[in-house]
Structure 1
Amino acid sequence: MVAAGVTTTNYEACRMTVTIDEPFDRFRERFERAVPRFDAARFEELDRQDAAWADVSRLTAENAPHSFMIYWSLEASALMRLAGGTRRCVEYLMGNHVIAERMYRHDPAALLYAPLRLAIYDGERGERGESDRHGLLTCLTIDQPSSHFASLGDLDITQVGLELDQKLADLLAHLRLTVPPPIAGVR
């Protein structure tokens, strides 16, 4: 039996930013095609049917052609504009609950980091081959999945985190982006 108390864990995360030579709106559209929205109605129907996990896995594979789905997004720029902000930003929670379950079974605290959080936003002004109307670079920023999951101290969870590193690298390659060195070649 564990006594009541507080545990603290300090750990280091690896944040990765990819600068994209493509206008914000066009890249956002390509990203959202590659990572479709979670189809809540279809999954709720499986719940009502008390379906088998194999059915959930099948539907997840159909809904996540590149291993990830968007569970939530926030168009932050609309609100930030009221404070004088001019750069666009969309924040996403993307993930795959079939993969998340493989960590959850070992430690439900894994859901602190699953789904993954990422942002697509207007970066700084810069030289670009294809400038958007604002002259800003488009950026995608995300933390390396395994850097968070390893902090839980469970080798099974860490292994799934490394698998997520590879799936993220595969997604970025599909989007024709530079794959950051921390996740390039992870197998």
Structure 2
Amino acid sequence: MAAGQIAEHRYEARRLEVQVDRPFAEFRRQYEEAVPAYDRDAFAALVARQAPWSDVLDLMRQRAPHSFLIYWNSGDVQPMMRLAGDAGHCVEYLMGNHTIAERMFRHDPTIMLYAPLRTAITSDDDGTGTRFHIEQPSHAFASFGRDDVTRVGVELDQEVAALLDHLGVPVPAALAG
């Protein structure tokens, strides 16, 4: 693309909402146990010593038993929203696996717009009605028009399905397919 040109890429997003049969706090705890926090120091140590990629893969396998780590979470925004009279709960997350993302990044670094994956856990005002939300990964990654990137996006659908199955919640057919 020449300097000053603008390209527009459209795709259809599919946001999935999964009803969870547990209270918000319980499901949040279970999710955060299954998807542990990214250990910045451990991975930075690999970068500092210029470790081989195989060491990165090994550390990710050790730290992410269900394929994903939490790179960031908002904390429950309910205390701030309560100031406006809202009582519902919401915690947003950036959940991912940089070793999976790398398999797309090598083809197009722009995939980092969608990696890590954005997820949320929400509840109604009374803390019941817990839901898990995610945009289907394969839709976002297919928008790049590259089979090698799309295949990894489909793999991410399956990894999210496996995580939801582990958490004992319904798996949307769109992810399991």
TM-score (ref. length: structure 2): 0.95
Could you list the structure 1 runs, at least 4 aligned residues long, displaced by more than 4 angstroms after superposition.
none
- Unaligned stretches of 5+ residues in structure 2: none
Tell me which residue corresponds to 1:108. Answer: 109
The one-letter amino acid paired with 2:41 is: A
In the TM superposition, what is the alpha-carbon distance from 1:78 to its structure 2 partner? 2.6
Q: Distance in 1 between matches of 2:80 and 2:115?
A: 26
Task: Describe the superposition over 1:53-112 as per-residue Cα deviations: whole angstroms up to 9, x where unpaired.
Answer: 110110011111000000000022232222222111100000000000000000011000
Tell me which residue corresponds to 1:130. Answer: none
The one-letter amino acid paired with 1:64 is: A
The one-letter amino acid paired with 1:183 is: L
The one-letter amino acid paired with 2:99 is: V
Q: Distance in 2 between matches of 1:92 and 1:77?
A: 15
Which range is displaced more, 142-151 or 74-83?
74-83
Q: Distance in 2 between matches of 1:123 and 1:152?
A: 36
RMSD: 1.2
Tell me which residue corresponds to 1:128. Answer: none
Is 2:87 aligned against 1:86?
yes
In the TM superposition, what is the alpha-carbon distance from 1:135 to its structure 2 partner? 5.7
In the TM superposition, what is the alpha-carbon distance from 1:3 to its structure 2 partner? 1.3
Paired residues of 2:22 and 2:128 also in contact (CA < 8 A): no
Q: Distance in 1 between matches of 2:128 and 2:34?
A: 23
Q: Distance in 1 between matches of 2:124 and 2:62?
A: 33
Tell me which residue corresponds to 2:133. Answer: 141
Q: Distance in 2 between matches of 1:110 and 1:135?
A: 35
Paired residues of 2:16 and 2:135 also in contact (CA < 8 A): yes
Closer, same or farther in 2 for the Cα pair 1:3/1:20, shift >3 Å? Answer: same
Tell me which residue corresponds to 1:182. Answer: 174
Is 2:9 aligned against 1:17?
no
The one-letter amino acid paired with 1:33 is: E
- Provide the secondary structure at the position in 1 that maps to 2:73: strand
Paired residues of 2:142 and 2:149 also in contact (CA < 8 A): yes
Q: Distance in 2 between matches of 1:137 and 1:54?
A: 42
Aligned residues: 175
Closer, same or farther in 2 for the Cα pair 1:81/1:52, shift >3 Å? Answer: same
- Provide the secondary structure at the position in 2 that maps to 1:91: strand
TM-score (ref. length: structure 1): 0.90
Task: Describe the superposition over 1:9-45 as per-residue Cα deviations: whole angstroms up to 9, x where unpaired.
Answer: 1110111100111010011000000000001111111
Tell me which residue corresponds to 1:74. Answer: 74
